[in-house]
Amino acid sequence: MQKSYIIKRILYTVVIFFVVVTLNFFIPRLGVEDPAERYYPPQGNMSDVEYDIIKQLTREQYGFDVPTWQQYLRYMNDLFHGDLGTSFQPGSPKVADLIAQRLPWTLVLSVSSLVIGLVVGLLFGSYAAWRRGRLADTMLLNASTITTALPAFFIALILSLYLGFEWELFPAYTDPNMAASFRWNWASIKLVASSAALPILSMCIGSIVSYAQNTRNSVIAVSNEPFVMTARAKGLSNGNILYRHVLRNAMLPIVTNLGMSVSGLIGGAVVIEQIFNWNGMGTLFLNANNTNDYPLMMGIMLFMSTFALIANLITDLCYSLLDPRVTVGERR
Cβ count within 10 A of residue 226: 7
Mean pLDDT of the chain, nearest integer: 81
Backbone angles phi, psi at 86, to 5 degrees: -120, 135
Tell me what pLDDT residue 263 has: 66
Same structural domain for residues 136 and 66?
Answer: no
Mean pLDDT of 99-125: 88
Same structural domain for residues 178 and 225?
Answer: yes
Task: Point out which residues pair with 86 in neighbouring strands.
Answer: 94
238-263 residue pLDDT tens: 777 777 777 777 777 777 777 777 76
Same structural domain for residues 75 and 108?
Answer: no
Kindly indicate the confidence band of residue 98, based on its pLDDT and cuts at 50, 70 and 90.
very high
CB contact at 8 A, 253 and 214 = yes
325: left (phi over 0), alpha (psi -120 to 50) or beta: alpha
13-33 residue pLDDT tens: 999 999 999 998 888 777 666
Same structural domain for residues 248 and 201?
Answer: yes
Q: What is d(CA 81, CA 91) in angstroms, rounded to the nearest whole number?
A: 22
Within-domain flag for 301: no
Within-domain flag for 332: no
Same structural domain for residues 110 and 76?
Answer: no
Tell me what pLDDT residue 16 has: 92
Within-domain flag for 199: yes
Per-residue CA distances from 37 to 23, 69, 289 (Å): 20, 19, 15
Within-domain flag for 89: no
Same structural domain for residues 181 and 148?
Answer: yes
Which of 156-160, 180-184, 316-320 is predicted most confidently? 156-160
- Please state the domain count of the chain: 2
Within-domain flag for 95: no
- Residue 324 pLDDT > 70: no
Kindly indicate the confidence band of residue 326, based on its pLDDT and cuts at 50, 70 and 90.
low
- Residue 330 pLDDT > 60: no
Same structural domain for residues 247 and 122?
Answer: yes
3-state helix, strand, coil in the chain (%, to 5): 75, 0, 25
- Residue 73 pLDDT > 80: yes
CB contact at 8 A, 26 and 38 = no
Q: What percent of the chain has pLDDT over 90?
A: 5
Per-residue CA distances from 191 to 178, 182, 228, 231, 271 (Å): 8, 9, 48, 50, 21
Q: What is d(CA 285, CA 303) in angstroms, rounded to the nearest whole number?
A: 12
Kindly indicate the confidence band of residue 182, based on its pLDDT and cuts at 50, 70 and 90.
confident
The DSSP secondary-structure symbol of 31 reads T
Q: Which residues, 6+ apart, have CB-to-CB distance to 110 below 8 Å? A: 203, 265, 266, 268, 269
Same structural domain for residues 124 and 268?
Answer: yes
Give the CATH number of the domain where residue 179 resides: 1.10.3720.10
Which domain range does residue 231 map to? 103-291
Q: What is the pTM of this model?
A: 0.78
Within-domain flag for 162: yes
- Residue 265 pLDDT > 90: no
- Short-list 220, 212, 195, 207, CA closest to 280: 195
CA atoms within a 13 Å half-sphere pointing along the CA-CB vector of 269: 35
Q: SS3 of 325, please?
A: helix
Same structural domain for residues 168 and 281?
Answer: yes
